[in-house]
Copies of this chain bind each other. A is one copy, B any other.
């Protein structure tokens, strides 16, 4: 389909393009336009029926949106913004340079402009910033058939209609009722009798992570957002929550890999920004790794008389680091999904202790066979290395399991305490165990 249209574009057969393209999904139209040169993209964009054009516009990249706004007429901008949903408009404005923002705002109604300004004031990642105001509100005295008639009159064809909100005359939220319940219920029943008063609502300043976990816990499709006086101000729908979940997962991953978290796409982020996000933690970790170096200095004489000991440093450090981050990853993820709670700390400790025992003994055994029998390393050195490995794995796993829970207890972010910090701790412990054991076993 996309290739056919691309060929038609190449041959300049734009009227045929128009016939074909309207059959496509708006997401696909946007990604097709993304691949065309700017002039051709613009011609086709202008060919689109107005409703489709606005929807396609909301799926385009920021660069193309900016280009379009800069070259089209005020009247064309007006037809797009009239048809854009408020939350999409706000999302777009947040990414545009000021001249483009001005041009868009000039072409919106005064009422919409006020709403936009209100939205732009909500803190990033708060309920206010991700909610939408296109919802259906009902009164509890209404009959079901009148409600359906009312929805037909005001309804916008968007997923926000799937749940309706019942408010009193002060706009306070009293209940929710799903569209399907309205359809399934006899027309003469009164809303009050079928609305669900045991609903979950959230204030405008609630964090999106908290909202996402409520959606997951209660299997919600939409959630009302209320102000301090419990008045309905907007709703959040599941399609936005899917994006929030992916964004939170990305941020957790970045933190666990020792980076400042961001929701910018990699390819769209500048080299200096990327470098800045990575540098801070690398500096902290580089300096903390010098403490590990200090441990080695203390055992300089030992190493001088048995350089062979040095060759096992990478293996001990890597295995310790990997063991620790296995445990910390599982625990951090469990905390994020609320499968593990703070009160489970002793359970985790005991579980990690036993797991690390099994894993440590297996690794130590394989290691001993390999270095003593295959590499013909001295017996005492082989024993030293293998015992050090066992203890390193135990310490790494227990620390990796317990530290994220302690971090959360102290209100730190568990993800930040993950991989990197644990590696540093485990390195220092591993080398201390190794050299102390070597000193006493080898009696140097």
Task: Give residues in A with beta carbon < 8 Å to B.
Answer: 23-25, 27, 148, 151-152, 155, 157-159, 161-162, 178-184, 198, 200, 215-219, 221, 238-239, 241-243, 245-246, 249-250, 253-254, 256-259, 265-267, 271-272, 274-275, 278-279, 281-283, 285-287, 289-290, 292-294, 296-297, 300, 303-304, 307-308, 310-315, 317-319, 321-323, 325-326, 328-331, 333-334, 337, 339-340, 344, 347-348, 351, 354-355, 358-359, 362-363, 366-367, 370, 393, 419-420, 423-424, 427, 431
With A313-B314, A358-B275 as known contacts, state yes or no: A219 contacts B282, CB within 8 Å: no
Whole-angstrom distance between the alpha carbons of A258 and B183 in the complex? 51
Distance of A345 from chain B, by nearest CB (Å) = 12
Distance of A339 from chain B, by nearest CB (Å) = 5
Contacts of A367 in B (CB 8 A): 286
List 13 extra interface pairs beyond A182-B183, A313-B313, CB under 8 A.
A24-B198, A152-B184, A161-B183, A246-B249, A257-B329, A266-B334, A266-B348, A266-B351, A267-B347, A275-B355, A275-B358, A282-B319, A303-B307
Nearest residue (CB) in B for A325 is B257
Contact with A310, one of B157, B200, B265, B310 (Cβ below 8 angstroms): B310
Distance of A427 from chain B, by nearest CB (Å) = 6
Contacts of A162 in B (CB 8 A): 162, 179-180, 221
Distance of A57 from chain B, by nearest CB (Å) = 15
Nearest residue (CB) in B for A217 is B27
Please determine whether A267 and B359 come into contact, CB atoms closer than 8 angstroms: no
Please determine whether A25 and B275 come into contact, CB atoms closer than 8 angstroms: no
Distance of A130 from chain B, by nearest CB (Å) = 14
Please determine whether B25 and A279 come into contact, CB atoms closer than 8 angstroms: no
Contacts of A216 in B (CB 8 A): 242-243, 246
Whole-angstrom distance between the alpha carbons of A337 and B265 in the complex? 10
Whole-angstrom distance between the alpha carbons of A408 and B363 in the complex? 30
With A242-B238, A310-B310 as known contacts, state yes or no: A318 contacts B286, CB within 8 Å: yes
Contacts of A359 in B (CB 8 A): 275, 278-279, 282
Contacts of A161 in B (CB 8 A): 180, 183-184
Contacts of A258 in B (CB 8 A): 322, 325-326
Q: Is the interface of A mostly helix, strand, loop or mixed?
A: helix
Please determine whether A183 and B155 come into contact, CB atoms closer than 8 angstroms: yes
| A/B interface sample: 8 pairs, CB < 8 A | A25-B198, A25-B200, A155-B184, A157-B180, A162-B162, A215-B242, A246-B249, A253-B333
Whole-angstrom distance between the alpha carbons of A46 and B351 in the complex? 35
Contact with A358, one of B24, B272, B293 (Cβ below 8 angstroms): B272
Please determine whether B289 and A314 come into contact, CB atoms closer than 8 angstroms: yes
Please determine whether A321 and B321 come into contact, CB atoms closer than 8 angstroms: yes
> Which are the 8 A-B pairs with shortest beta-carbon distances?
A257-B329, A292-B314, A293-B311, A275-B358, A289-B315, A296-B311, A289-B318, A161-B180
With A274-B355, A337-B246, A419-B325 as known contacts, state yes or no: A303 contacts B293, CB within 8 Å: no
Whole-angstrom distance between the alpha carbons of A363 and B282 in the complex? 8
Whole-angstrom distance between the alpha carbons of A334 and B254 in the complex? 12
Contact with A326, one of B241, B257, B310 (Cβ below 8 angstroms): B257
Please determine whether B183 and A427 come into contact, CB atoms closer than 8 angstroms: no
Please determine whether B319 and A286 come into contact, CB atoms closer than 8 angstroms: yes
Whole-angstrom distance between the alpha carbons of A39 and B259 in the complex? 50
Please determine whether B304 and A358 come into contact, CB atoms closer than 8 angstroms: no
Whole-angstrom distance between the alpha carbons of A279 and B304 in the complex? 34
